[in-house]
DNA sequence: GATGCTTACGTACAAACGTACGCTTCATGT
DNA sequence: ACATGAAGCGTACGTTTGTACGTAAGCATC
């Protein structure tokens, strides 16, 4: 009988990471203890040891996802020195789109669906949006920030669905229209 | 031994309807034959009799959902006699929002997530968006239609997440900005 | 190296799942 | 009234699921 990797401090984090990738591939519907365990290369027993149940694992996974994306968002905008650059940053956010491939977008949809059905975790969605709005308000008025934020979301979804991407030039024009430039 | 309702021509449709409401409440993850059967008040056996499997039931349910929403969309826009009315129709679409309560939005997210993971049914999403874009193009230029379509999506999502709705006045301003009015 | 305490794992179990299939019921033609 | 075929249901089966729990490994202390 052989026991391996008893000491493995990254394990918990690796499980969460694995959960995200399982979600991307199989959705929340297919995110089972066993599948995640295999993806993370940990024994099944580790699942119930590290997490209180599948829902609590999902909650942590989604928290990681939203935190990560919000950070990306913030960083991109913070780097902009003036309004013109900020506008261009927004264009970049939209066009570089789902921050890491199609899978990320799937994860985001699953997050939306899941958090809508779990009022206890509604903060995942609203907090994230508050953060992105706040990041935008460093450069724009609150009303403009609201409009841009919604626009980013909407364009990304449409870009994902219809394969025919809205060209950057057009995105730029929209951003200009929304920010009175 | 008692047998009931052998003759029940609406049964198939009722099952699909029930599937949608189960999805709203439990997500695709919790959409099981048994739960749907109970919701539709039909015996479990009817599930496999009327549908080839759970995925094929989901596909039909989502098709119904998207068709229904697209129709709503089209009808609202078709009723507008001129540009000004069309703009107002768009505002109405956004503000009256999820066409039938929070549950509808959950269903839509689940549809997005599901169809993204099922390439065979990607047409559900892209077809719907094509339809709504087409409806918009009766009144606006293609570029404006794309922008409005994305905007509608984005604002609705944000309205759902953050409880603090974007006021109609502001929506009206955005629509005006996007359509050069 | 023996002891005791913490950490982590293997495994077993009940519940819930999707699905197949034989049998009942009904409508129809005679 | 009866036969017959189609339609629809009840049930049972093999899998997969989440989770609990006894037990083994690691580690500090002596």
CATH number at residue B65: 1.10.357.10
Contact present, A40 and A15 (Cβ < 8 Å)? yes
In a domain, B5, yes or no: no
Q: For residues B111 and B24, give the distance between their C-alpha atoms in angstroms, rounded to a whole number.
A: 11
Query: How many domains is chain B partitioned into structurally?
Result: 1
Contact present, B72 and B92 (Cβ < 8 Å)? no
**Closest residue, chain A, to B159 (C-alpha):** A150
Asked if B5 is an interface residue toward chain A (Cβ–Cβ < 8 A), one would say no
In this complex, which of B158, B162, B178 lies closest to A174 when CB atoms are compared?
B178
Asked whether residue A2 carries a pLDDT value surpassing 50, the answer given is no
Q: Give the pLDDT mean for A112-126.
A: 92
Asked whether residue B3 carries a pLDDT value surpassing 50, the answer given is no
**Closest residue, chain B, to A175 (C-alpha):** B178
Contact present, B105 and B156 (Cβ < 8 Å)? yes
Give me the residue label for tokens 């009931």.
B4
How much is the pLDDT for A1?
35
In a domain, B58, yes or no: yes
In a domain, B4, yes or no: no
- Better-predicted residue by pLDDT, A1 or A106: A106
Q: Rounded to the nearest 10 degrees, how much is the dihedral formed by the CA atoms of B75, B70, B144, B137?
A: -60
Chain segment A35-94, per-residue pLDDT in tens: 999 999 999 999 999 999 999 999 999 999 999 999 999 999 999 999 999 999 999 999
In a domain, A114, yes or no: yes
Asked whether residue B101 carries a pLDDT value surpassing 80, the answer given is no
Q: Give the pLDDT mean for B31-49.
A: 96
Q: For residues B173 and A130, give the distance between their C-alpha atoms in angstroms, rounded to a whole number.
A: 22
Instruction: Find the domain containing A81 and state its range.
Output: 11-178
Asked whether residue A112 carries a pLDDT value surpassing 80, the answer given is yes
pLDDT above 90 covers a percentage of chain A that reads: 79
Q: Which of residues 52-71 of B touch strand C (CB under 7 A)?
A: 53-54
Tell me the average pLDDT of chain B: 91
Which tokens hold the place of A166? 């809205």
Q: Rounded to the nearest 10 degrees, how much is the dihedral formed by the CA atoms of B72, B74, A169, B167?
A: -50
How much is the pLDDT for B2?
41
Under the banding of pLDDT at 50, 70 and 90, the label for residue B6 is: low
Return the CA Rg of chain A.
Answer: 19
Tell me the average pLDDT of chain A: 91
In a domain, A171, yes or no: yes
pLDDT above 90 covers a percentage of chain B that reads: 81
Asked whether residue B40 carries a pLDDT value surpassing 50, the answer given is yes
A–B CB contacts, 8 A cutoff, strictly below: 126
In a domain, B3, yes or no: no
Under the banding of pLDDT at 50, 70 and 90, the label for residue A6 is: low
Contact at CB, B152 and A151, closer than 8 angstroms: no
pLDDT above 70 covers a percentage of chain B that reads: 93
Asked whether residue B98 carries a pLDDT value surpassing 80, the answer given is no
Asked if A109 is an interface residue toward chain B (Cβ–Cβ < 8 A), one would say yes
In this complex, which of B29, B149, B178 lies closest to A158 when CB atoms are compared?
B149
Q: Which residue is nearest to nucleotide C21 (CA to C1')?
A: B45
Under the banding of pLDDT at 50, 70 and 90, the label for residue A164 is: confident
Contact present, A66 and A128 (Cβ < 8 Å)? yes
Asked whether residue B86 carries a pLDDT value surpassing 90, the answer given is yes
In a domain, B6, yes or no: no
What is the 3-state secondary structure of chain A?
CCCCCCCCCCHHHHHHHHHHHHHHHHCHHHCCHHHHHHHHCCCCHHHHHHCCCHHHHHHHHHHHHHHHHHHHHHHHHHCCCCHHHHHHHHHHHHHHCCCCCHHHHHHHHHHHHHHHHCHHHHHHHHHHHHHHHHHHCCCCCHHHHHHHHHHHHHHHHHHHHHCCCCCHHHHHHHHHHHCCC
Chain segment B113-172, per-residue pLDDT in tens: 999 999 999 899 999 999 999 999 999 999 999 999 999 999 999 988 887 889 999 999
In this complex, which of B117, B143, B146 lies closest to A27 when CB atoms are compared?
B117
In a domain, A144, yes or no: yes
Q: Which of residues 66-95 of A touch strand D (CB under 7 A)?
A: none
């Amino acid at each position: 009988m052989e026991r391996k990797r008893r000491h493995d401090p990254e394990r918990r984090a690796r499980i969460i990471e694995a959960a995200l990738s399982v979600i991307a591939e199989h959705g929340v519907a297919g995110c089972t203890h066993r599948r995640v365990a295999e993806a993370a290369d940990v024994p099944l027993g580790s699942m119930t040891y590290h997490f209180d149940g599948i829902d609590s694992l999902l909650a942590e996974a989604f928290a990681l996802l939203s935190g990560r994306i919000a950070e990306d968002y913030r960083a991109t905008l913070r780097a902009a020195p003036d309004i013109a650059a900020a506008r261009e940053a927004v264009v970049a956010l939209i066009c570089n789109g789902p921050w890491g491939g199609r899978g990320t977008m799937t994860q985001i949809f699953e997050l939306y669906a899941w958090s809508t059905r779990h009022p206890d975790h509604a903060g995942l969605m609203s907090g994230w949006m508050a953060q992105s709005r706040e990041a935008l308000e460093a450069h724009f008025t609150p009303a403009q920030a609201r409009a841009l934020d919604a626009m980013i979301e909407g364009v990304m979804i449409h870009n994902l669905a219809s394969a025919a991407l809205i060209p950057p030039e057009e995105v730029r024009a929209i951003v200009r229209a929304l920010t009175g430039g």
